Amino acid sequence: MSFSILVVDDEPDVAEMFRQRFRREARQGTYVLHFAGSGEEALQMLAHEIEPQLIVLLSDINMPGMDGLSLLREIKQRRPDLPVMMVTAYGDDERRRHAAEAGALQFLTKPVDFDFLKEQLRQLPGASA
C-alpha cells in the first residue's frame, strides 16, 4: 500500500532534503512525496485529487504570503480529517499553542528528527488502513 505526503515549505532545499531522507521509502513505494512552495500552492494542489491517498500534510510556519498557521486553519475548514503537522524553526510556546488550537496533530521543530517523524507517520490512522 502506498501513501502520499504533502510537504509545504518556501525553501526549495527542504524538498531535496525530504527526497533524500525518504529515498528508501520512496523506492519501496511506501510513501510518495509531493511538494508545495507556498500555502496557496498547497491549497491548489488539495483542490484536486492527490494520488495515492494523501495521509498527512507537513507545513512550515513562516512563509511569505499565506503562513503555515493560516494554511492549517484553511485546511481544517476544507478537509477536517486530514492530519496536519507543523514543522518550524520557531519552537516557542505561543506558536505551539496556536498550532494546537487550530488543530495541528504535531508540532515539530527544525532540524527535523526524521526518525521521530517516520515513527509518527507509521502511527497515522490512514497509514494502517
Partner 1 sequence: MASLGQLTAGIAHEIKNPLNFVNNFAGLSVELLDELKETAAPALATLDDDKRADIDEVVDMLTGNLEKIAEHGRRADGIVKSMLEHSRGASGERREVDLNALVEEALNLAYHGARAQDANFNITLERDLGPAIVPIELAPQEITRVLLNLFGNGFYAATKRQRDEAEPDFRPALNVTTRDLGKAVEIRVRDNGTGIPPEIRDKLFQPFFTTKPTGEGTGLGLSISWDIVTQQHDGTIAVDSRAGEFTEFTIHLPRRRHETMAGKMA
Q: Is residue 89 part of the contact set for partner 1 (CB under 8 A)?
A: yes
**Site map (CB under 8 A) of partner 1, residues 13-32, x = contact:** x---x--xx-----------
At 126, list the grid cell: 490512514
**What is the three-class DSSP state of 72?**
helix
d(CA 69, CA 12): 20
Residue 92 per-residue DSSP state: -
At 38, list the grid cell: 507556498
Based on CB atoms, which residue is closest to partner 1, 51 or 92?
A: 92
Contact positions with partner 1 (CB under 8 A) in 31-60: none
CB 25 within 8 A of CB 122: no
Q: Which of 27, 49, 80, 111 binds partner 1 (CB under 8 A)?
A: 111
Binding site residues, partner 1, CB under 8 A: 11, 13, 17, 20-21, 89-90, 92, 110-112
